[in-house]
């Protein structure tokens, strides 16, 4: 644990470069621990802004910080969980999800097997949540087997690394093995929230978990961050909720797989004045036909997940104004790229974006976008300008 002098030193030097401080002499200060605190605080300013005001909050090592949920996604989990009489986080980690879920709960249990991580989280949860959270340093499955209570909500985020430290995504390769213990878990709760890898196969997960009635796909700032499965004993066709969290805006679309399967996409015979790319949550959700109905846009091709329209629509994703259709050669592109810079995007195109950029000898940057794609079975490319979301 971090002693008081080191904690005070870290707080006073929180804006400084931690590596440089490590090269200096500061008697009475545990410099490695201070550096960990400083780096943690600097991460918190962006990832957990509400914690950056807490002088006595303890930050774990970098890997644990990287694996922890962001404040935005933890708040989202608490929101969809709703009021909880009795809840538990079975894979507590740094404790970020426990911190926010416990705000919805009358009683909450945090369970973590790693002793060092447990000690840090215990201090933090006591600091911020008082006696609302009970902390347990043990194996979560063994702990659950000893419980007589029935939980309103169990939250579990199985570790997605194998024994060699390599990343995995399938439930059967994670620890604990959710599929092996699914019956036990569901016997002890009314609802369970499962956090999975963004790489998870949705169809396979639905069949494996059996009790899924809702799937939340959460993107933050243009990147798919979490897939959350909500399980209950009232099984219905799972509703898929695609949410994109941005600094001053949130977009959310809900649908059923059966609705998407019954919907016929509208294909564009030619490019319109505007071009759209769905946000990563929609892309992960696999909703490509319903988008045409929701936003009155046309799909470029069956396997091209780009859309177009002549009138600008408030589309949930990246929006572009189409300037011109171009051939992908230096001579055709040069009038549009006076500084030789552009952002290259390839969607349903036989050459990857980075390879195209090399072939065309274009520098990354500027305000111009080159979008190489397939429209109505034809390979083509467009010069575009990005349209801000706000």
Please list the residues that pair with 239 across neighbouring strands: 214, 256
Phi-psi region of 4 (alpha: psi -120 to 50; beta: other; left: phi over 0): alpha
Which two three-digit tokens encode residue 292? 């045409």
Give the residue ranges of DSSP H helices in the chain.
Answer: 4-12, 18-22, 31-47, 62-67, 71-81, 96-101, 115-129, 140-145, 182-187, 202-209, 257-262, 280-285, 290-295, 330-333, 353-360
- Does residue 23 register a pLDDT over 80? yes
- Does residue 390 register a pLDDT over 70? no
CA dist., res. 99 & res. 54, Å (int): 14
What residue has token string 């969980």?
81
Is the CB of residue 120 less than 8 Å from the CB of residue 127?
A: no
Mean pLDDT on 187-199: 95
Mean pLDDT on 152-166: 83
Percent of the chain exceeding pLDDT 90 equals 84
pLDDT, tens only, 65-86: 999 999 999 999 999 999 999 9
Q: Strands across the sheet with 304-309, in order?
A: 298-301, 304-309, 274-278, 317-325, 378-387, 363-375, 341-346
Mean pLDDT on 53-68: 94
Model pTM score: 0.93
pLDDT, tens only, 240-259: 999 999 888 899 999 999 99
pLDDT, tens only, 133-157: 999 999 999 999 999 989 999 999 9
pLDDT of residue 162: 67
CA dist., res. 214 & res. 235, Å (int): 9
pLDDT of residue 163: 65
The full set of domain ranges for the chain reads 4-59, 66-236, 262-387
Q: How confident is the model at residue 336 (pLDDT cuts 50, 70, 90)?
A: very high
Q: How confident is the model at residue 224 (pLDDT cuts 50, 70, 90)?
A: very high
- Does residue 165 register a pLDDT over 70? no
Q: Please give the full DSSP string across 198-267, using - where no structure is assigned.
A: TT--HHHHHHHHS-EEEEEEEEETTEEEEEEEEEESS--SPEEEEEEEETTEEEEEEEEHHHHHHPPPPB
- Does residue 8 register a pLDDT over 80? yes
- b/e 264-282 (16+ beta carbons within 10 angstroms → b): ebeebeebbebbbbbbbbb
pLDDT of residue 174: 85
- Does residue 194 register a pLDDT over 90? yes
- Does residue 166 register a pLDDT over 80? no
CA dist., res. 272 & res. 249, Å (int): 27
Mean pLDDT on 108-126: 96
Mean model confidence pLDDT for the chain:
93
**CATH for the stretch 66-236:** 3.40.50.150
């Amino acid at each position: 644990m971090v002693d008081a002098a080191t904690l005070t030193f870290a707080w006073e030097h929180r804006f400084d470069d931690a590596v440089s401080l490590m090269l200096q002499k500061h008697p009475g200060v545990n410099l490695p621990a201070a550096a960990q605190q400083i780096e943690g605080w600097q991460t918190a300013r962006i990832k957990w802004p509400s914690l950056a005001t807490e002088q006595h909050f303890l930050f774990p090592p970098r890997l644990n910080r990287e694996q922890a949920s962001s404040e935005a996604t933890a708040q989202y989990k608490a929101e969809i969980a709703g009021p909880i009489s009795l809840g538990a986080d079975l894979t507590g980690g740094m404790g970020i999800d426990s911190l926010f879920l416990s705000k919805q709960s009358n009683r909450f249990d945090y369970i973590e097997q790693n002793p060092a991580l447990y000690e840090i989280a215990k201090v933090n949860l006591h600091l911020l949540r008082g006696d609302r959270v009970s902390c347990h340093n043990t194996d979560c499955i063994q702990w659950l087997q000893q419980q007589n209570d029935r939980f309103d909500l169990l939250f579990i985020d199985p570790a997605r690394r194998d024994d060699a430290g390599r990343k995995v995504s399938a439930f059967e390769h994670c620890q604990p093995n959710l599929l092996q213990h699914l019956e036990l878990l569901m016997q002890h709760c009314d609802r369970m929230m499962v956090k999975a890898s963004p790489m998870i196969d949705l169809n396979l997960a639905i069949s494996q978990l059996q009790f899924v009635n809702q799937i939340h796909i959460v993107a933050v700032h243009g990147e798919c961050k979490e897939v959350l499965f909500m399980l209950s004993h009232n099984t219905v066709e799972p509703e898929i909720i695609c949410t994109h969290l941005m600094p001053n805006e949130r977009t959310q679309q809900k649908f059923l797989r059966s609705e998407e399967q019954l919907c016929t996409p509208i294909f564009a015979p030619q490019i319109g004045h505007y071009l759209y790319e769905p946000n990563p949550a929609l892309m992960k959700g696999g909703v490509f036909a319903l988008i045409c109905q929701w936003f009155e846009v046309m799909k470029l091709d069956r396997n091209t997940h780009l859309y177009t329209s002549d009138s600008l629509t408030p589309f949930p994703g990246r929006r572009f104004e189409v300037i011109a259709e171009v051939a992908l050669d230096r001579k055709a592109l040069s009038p549009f790229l006076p500084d030789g810079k552009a952002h290259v995007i390839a969607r349903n195109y036989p050459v990857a974006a980075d390879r195209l950029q090399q072939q065309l000898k274009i520098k990354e940057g500027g305000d111009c976008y080159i979008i190489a794609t397939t429209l109505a079975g034809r390979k083509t490319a467009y010069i575009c300008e990005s349209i801000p979301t706000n």
